[in-house]
Structure 1
């Protein structure tokens, strides 16, 4: 396929595809994801391998499965457990991207993931003469839930092997669905070995997560549904997360046979890009490390059969950053009031990036994003909310160095106005210069935000201040923004915590009242989206000026609490 290989060669390494800033999301070797496991060695004869899984009458003359017939056959069984998921217009996204965006809502399945289709189709076609013994799988995610749900529906015993460190919410949910959960081993390699042992010892049937013709055909029923939901002659492209390849292979097989003009676009996280790297090297590769943010699609390698199919049906691929995934989760919420898991939002993130890289004057172009899953722990939304604005380019994080002298703080405030301040961190540390970390909301349309940012940076520099854009700095975003400052020996320092309504102009009013009458030794503010904002301010005030400080506290007209005598303040912020 020249188009995708040319694309791969043109794009070089994964680091080149992540936009202006190169992110540095940590990756780890030990994972509790579905597929971050050592793959089985490739078989010498691919045809022989698939022949073992598919009856002779479902094979093509070339020895490979007739997937169109298998998908048609799957429709007679899959809907015993699965829903025909809606194809939902994304009004807000459509307006912003100036095209027709449709969302294929696989997150609305009974287990909130497309995985149920493949698992059920595989298990529904098992020979009852051997399936009565039960099935087994190794998974800590959506595949486990799909197998457990299918087993209950088909009245087949199911054993789910999970690593011992699997979060309780996951193994408890699988148990609730009817699966017998076995926690074994410190990581997925150990769990996989236990799965293989039980398969052999107890005569159980292993249900693979993606590299199986029946699993692929089950996922392919999504493609069949699309033809009954939209005029496919008007569809330009379908975006799917890549993962192990089962979803995109199944959809691609059906769509390419019925509507070959429709592009099939694979989307991966930049640090879990097995498909992209395999296409670049024209062979399956095994990643040494896999990023875990989009854990539902975190694979070390594609399946053997799924890679073969992807080479035939995938037209292009897009790699996205963690922040771009967070922005896509927010986009989904804004349009549907539904929350996706990171892997489930990959398709939206990739579609947005693809549109920006391939602009079109045709406002009627139709793009479909398959929202593949919504199984995410609630506490992860905290991280998503923190990073979504940065991923969208709406928020920038800046480090500004100003002279440590009266009036400099006030001049900085004047310079950044009227931008809405989302974050403000400062602590006195040096008698000559002050380092301030500021978050600001940009106002220009997405296409002009880069130019707007450069103009803002130039404006700050024109005031003889040094400024650095930290929006792409993982250390700053994940850690330093919470650790600005430390213990200081500021003379006559008093600490106050202020509360004020979180509404436009409230912070600016506070800053204008505050400056330039007092020396500010500490300042911390972060917009968390609540109705009440909290500001922590350190003020250096000699005893003879205490009357002026008392007057200021009355003038500010916001509730406050003095924290000067707090043990926490004395321990961490005072020398």
Structure 2
């Protein structure tokens, strides 16, 4: 690799260009595919391509920068080994680079690092040392050890050699598609964005390079506001691959000079992008890996972009499997395909059916309700948590809100309320404040248009529903949990169930019902 000047000397653009062109990363990394996303392209009216860095041996672009720096170490430095701090993709990149180059690697990881990431690093030959409760404590310890043991510290982003290694992504992009109009790049510490931007602006300056940050980890935006790198007071951890408290000094200098624009996205928008990637190319991106697509989509909307060739970088796919539950739940909200409302409806038979009919054929995606004694309650009516599927985004959401208010219902839009989406939706209900002669049933029915309305029309006007939970998960079958206050004979009740024709199972003796919900 071409020798770069020390970091303090701030290598010029030509030095970076030579370093990127000469980077020997393909001894371990691969030239990843640039795929079209036909479904999203048609939907958004632009030609959209995804750079598949998730297909690297370590499932992220980080191997490029790690290998570029480590391959440039002297023989003496290689013999002493290297050390770094990371809780994720950089750790695996350093470990694999060390294995390929025959260099001992020590990776300091926070004590709370999931086992799956620890085992991944070990599988690539890295020695794991657990220290500290967070990345900053792990990093401080790694730097201390590197000084004591005379080992080279391999930073995750703020070093010219690392930046040059990441810049090879930009080189591949213009080799694979010479007619790009814009490239969207995720930003954590800024190494990838800096490398791609300086390469593109040297070779094809007409291509716009747009940086994308998570709103709760926007360290570059904070640096722009402060005219220099600053520490964020707190950093959100959902997109952990870009959860960086402070932008690098060198990456800040390069991003400030060479980036064309910067856009911020929230967690719901990232979740929607994860789903888009899966729908189009069947890849499961980690949240930070889908960050640049979330920015691309938002940028198109804000600037009314049409008929352009747009590329984004799927930067990694080291997804914690359990995160998928959250992603799935929030993707529809991020795409403005679902709205959440708190609504007060009359505490009487048939009120839910009347509410659904009021929606004019729109699909209800979720309904949470538990009976309350209105004589003792401060609220005059039943408070329900309801989700509604949208086809026209924010405009339709506002229409529904106005429509419900015009019918005299008390309604609050919770679609942008983080506490409601994160916690309250799962806590709606509880125990009624009087004893009820109720029985609990679970139902399964074909998830077709009108199936829920049929349920309500058959049972909701004849029986007092005292508990109700429904959530559409986009599967073939819908599932409802409902309790009924039975003042009728059981044979008459079962006659209604037979008339309904849906599969059902009685859950009255379920211990969870006793523990949390029974009156």
Alignment correspondent of 1:296: 241
Question: Mind listing any 5+ residue stretches in structure 2 that lack a counterpart?
Answer: 375-379
Say if 2:91 is the partner of 1:144. yes
Indicate the larger mover: 410-419 or 374-383.
410-419
Alignment correspondent of 1:314: 259
Shift of 1:306: 0.8
Q: Deviations over 1:102-150 (max 9, x none)?
A: 1111111111111000000101111012211211111111000000010
Say if 2:430 is the partner of 1:486. yes
Alignment correspondent of 1:376: 319
Question: Mind listing any 5+ residue stretches in structure 1 that lack a counterpart?
Answer: 1-49
* Kept after mapping to 2: 8 A contact 1:145/1:173: yes
**Aligned pairs, how many?**
510
Alignment correspondent of 2:213: 268
The CA distance in 1 between the partners of 2:365 and 2:435, in whole Å, is 26
So what's the TM-score if we normalise by structure 2? 0.94
Q: Which has the higher contact order (CA 8 A, sep 6+)?
A: 1
What SS class does the counterpart of residue 509 from structure 2 fall into?
coil
The CA distance in 2 between the partners of 1:434 and 1:314, in whole Å, is 53
* Kept after mapping to 2: 8 A contact 1:328/1:346: yes
Say if 2:402 is the partner of 1:455. no
Alignment correspondent of 1:98: 45
Say if 2:158 is the partner of 1:211. yes
Shift of 1:53: 5.5
Alignment correspondent of 1:443: 391
What SS class does the counterpart of residue 384 from structure 2 fall into?
strand
* Kept after mapping to 2: 8 A contact 1:396/1:439: yes
Indicate the larger mover: 490-499 or 326-335.
490-499
Say if 2:483 is the partner of 1:538. yes
Say if 2:366 is the partner of 1:418. no
Alignment match of 2:382 (pick from 429, 434, 443): 434
The CA distance in 1 between the partners of 2:383 and 2:52, in whole Å, is 46
Indicate the larger mover: 524-533 or 143-152.
524-533
Indicate the larger mover: 381-390 or 184-193.
184-193
Alignment correspondent of 2:199: 254
Alignment correspondent of 1:89: 36
The CA distance in 2 between the partners of 1:85 and 1:498, in whole Å, is 47
Alignment correspondent of 1:44: none
What SS class does the counterpart of residue 279 from structure 2 fall into?
helix
Alignment match of 2:6 (pick from 32, 52, 63): 52
What SS class does the counterpart of residue 370 from structure 1 fall into?
strand
Shift of 1:505: 3.0
Alignment correspondent of 1:553: 497
Alignment correspondent of 1:529: 474
The CA distance in 2 between the partners of 1:389 and 1:137, in whole Å, is 38
Q: Deviations over 1:66-104 (max 9, x none)?
A: 111111111xx1111111111111111111110111111
* Kept after mapping to 1: 8 A contact 2:349/2:460: no
Q: Deviations over 1:254-282 (max 9, x none)?
A: 10011112111110110100101111222
Say if 2:460 is the partner of 1:511. no
So what's the TM-score if we normalise by structure 1? 0.85
Alignment of 1:61-100 (within 5 A): 66-74=15-23, 77-100=24-47
Shift of 1:310: 0.8
Shift of 1:535: 1.1
The CA distance in 2 between the partners of 1:433 and 1:316, in whole Å, is 50
Alignment of 1:156-171 (within 5 A): 156-171=103-118
Alignment match of 2:507 (pick from 563, 569, 574): 563
Alignment correspondent of 1:180: 127
Q: Deviations over 1:411-456 (max 9, x none)?
A: 1121124112211111111324001111111123xxxx22222222
What SS class does the counterpart of residue 227 from structure 1 fall into?
helix
* Kept after mapping to 2: 8 A contact 1:219/1:251: yes
Alignment correspondent of 1:392: 335
Shift of 1:503: 3.4
* Kept after mapping to 2: 8 A contact 1:65/1:213: no
The CA distance in 2 between the partners of 1:273 and 1:89, in whole Å, is 29
The CA distance in 1 between the partners of 2:110 and 2:400, in whole Å, is 49
* Kept after mapping to 1: 8 A contact 2:110/2:133: yes
Alignment correspondent of 1:243: 188
Shift of 1:225: 1.2
Indicate the larger mover: 470-479 or 194-203.
194-203
The CA distance in 2 between the partners of 1:564 and 1:59, in whole Å, is 72
The CA distance in 2 between the partners of 1:465 and 1:279, in whole Å, is 46
What SS class does the counterpart of residue 310 from structure 2 fall into?
strand
* Kept after mapping to 1: 8 A contact 2:390/2:397: yes
The CA distance in 2 between the partners of 1:280 and 1:95, in whole Å, is 36
* Kept after mapping to 2: 8 A contact 1:413/1:511: no
What SS class does the counterpart of residue 79 from structure 1 fall into?
helix
Shift of 1:290: 0.5
Say if 2:83 is the partner of 1:129. no
The CA distance in 1 between the partners of 2:354 and 2:372, in whole Å, is 19
